[in-house]
Amino acid sequence: MIIAIDGPAGAGKSTVARIIAQKLGFLYIDTGAMYRALTLKALERKINAKDIPALIEMARSTNIDLTNNQDSSLKILLDGRDVSSPIRQPCITRLVSDIAKLKGVREIMLGLQRKFGKLRDSVLDGRDIGTVVFPDADKKFYIDAEFSVRVRRRYKELKELNQDVTLKDIEKDLRNRDNIDSTREFAPLKKADDAIYIDTTSMAIGEVVNKVLSYIQ
Ligand code: CDP
């Protein structure tokens, strides 16, 4: 069984996807983490974000693997190294959408995401899961929230990770990424026609989880 959860940044999809995976005993596949891992490698190798052939070549020769911890949180391995925490740094967040918009990079990630999803029953979260990666997913959700609420949620999350950020920084980042992600040519952020839309603006995480579960069970 494949459960697809898409939506913009800060809507709470990763938290919801992880809890659903944990409750159902499914594999949690955070596809954003895969793009983040590639971005980390590009930064470490000092590959210019405009050098598209070099980025695609790098993606082709990169090994990305995923497992889940006990609490279903994601452990992501970049060429065998656990990068679960460095991929959350602001320098990665700032650049990731520019790398994720490249067709050649997406094609490589698409193959991997389908491979992971076929291993076990899975919950995948991202931007194009219901539209492109698994258009035949058993259940599709599009999780959204008002912009100001998404900003506050992301702020709280990053503060809990002890990141030195301001509300203004987050606003700028979400606006920029939402814009790139939803206007790009290949696999833009979009609700699949058959996805269930959930506006979580005034919902607590537990309520969202229950709502999603009620559609699955
Ligand atoms: O958690 P957050 O909403 O900040 O983003 P993420 O899920 O970690 O994804 C980071 C970035 O990866 C997004 O802003 C997109 O540019 C890209 N992404 C994508 O293009 N397609 C996906 N299926 C998932 C993420």
Per-residue pLDDT at 110: 98
Helix (H) or strand (E) holding 16: helix 13-24
Q: Distance from the CA of 35 to the center of ligand 1, in angstroms?
A: 7
For residue 34, give both structure tokens: 């895969």
Ligand 1 near 96 CB (within 6 A):
yes
213 CB-near residues (< 8 Å, 6+ apart): 20, 23
Ligand 1 near 109 CB (within 6 A):
no
The answer as to whether 74 is a domain residue is yes
Per-residue pLDDT at 71: 87
The answer as to whether 54 is a domain residue is yes
Quote the DSSP letter at residue 87.
G
The answer as to whether 206 is a domain residue is no
The answer as to whether 91 is a domain residue is yes
Per-residue pLDDT at 27: 96
> For residues 182 and 91, what is the distance between their CA atoms, to the nearest angstrom?
21
- Tell me what the mean pLDDT of segment 134-155 comes to: 98
> For residues 158 and 168, what is the distance between their CA atoms, to the nearest angstrom?
13
Overall domain count for the chain: 1
Ligand 1 near 31 CB (within 6 A):
yes
Per-residue pLDDT at 97: 97
Maximum pairwise Cα distance, the chain = 47
Q: Distance from the CA of 100 to the center of ligand 1, in angstroms?
A: 8
Measured in whole angstroms, the distance separating CA 204 from the mean position of its chain's CA atoms is: 20
Q: Quick one: pLDDT band at residue 141, thresholds 50, 70, 90?
A: very high
pLDDT digits (tens, 9 = 90+) for 24-41: 999 999 999 999 999 999
132: left (phi over 0), alpha (psi -120 to 50) or beta: alpha
Per-residue pLDDT at 72: 86
Which of 15, 31, 94 to mutate for ligand 1's pocket (most ligand atoms within 8 Å of CB)? 31
- Tell me what the mean pLDDT of segment 120-131 comes to: 98
Measured in whole angstroms, the distance separating CA 121 from the mean position of its chain's CA atoms is: 18
Ligand 1 near 9 CB (within 6 A):
yes
CATH of the domain at 116: 3.40.50.300
Q: Which of 133, 130, 92 is nearest to 115 (CA)?
A: 133
Strand partners, 64: 78
Q: Whose CA is nearest to atom 15 of ligand 1?
A: 97
> For residues 150 and 99, what is the distance between their CA atoms, to the nearest angstrom?
23
Can you give the residue range of the structural domain that contains 184?
2-196
- Tell me what the mean pLDDT of segment 152-181 comes to: 95
Question: Quick check: 135 pLDDT over 90?
Answer: yes
Closest ligand 1 atom, residue 35 Cα: 12
Closest ligand 1 atom, residue 124 Cα: 23
CB 54 within 8 A of CB 38: no
Per-residue pLDDT at 210: 98
Q: Quick one: pLDDT band at residue 191, thresholds 50, 70, 90?
A: very high
> For residues 6 and 191, what is the distance between their CA atoms, to the nearest angstrom?
7
Ligand 1 near 177 CB (within 6 A):
yes
Ligand 1 near 134 CB (within 6 A):
no
Which of 105, 147, 151, 177 to mutate for ligand 1's pocket (most ligand atoms within 8 Å of CB)? 177
Question: Quick check: 104 pLDDT over 90?
Answer: yes
- Tell me what the mean pLDDT of segment 95-104 comes to: 97
Q: Distance from the CA of 125 to the center of ligand 1, in angstroms?
A: 9
CB 54 within 8 A of CB 47: yes
- Tell me what the mean pLDDT of segment 96-111 comes to: 98
Q: Which of 147, 27, 29, 161 is nearest to 93 (CA)?
A: 161
- Tell me what the mean pLDDT of segment 85-114 comes to: 97
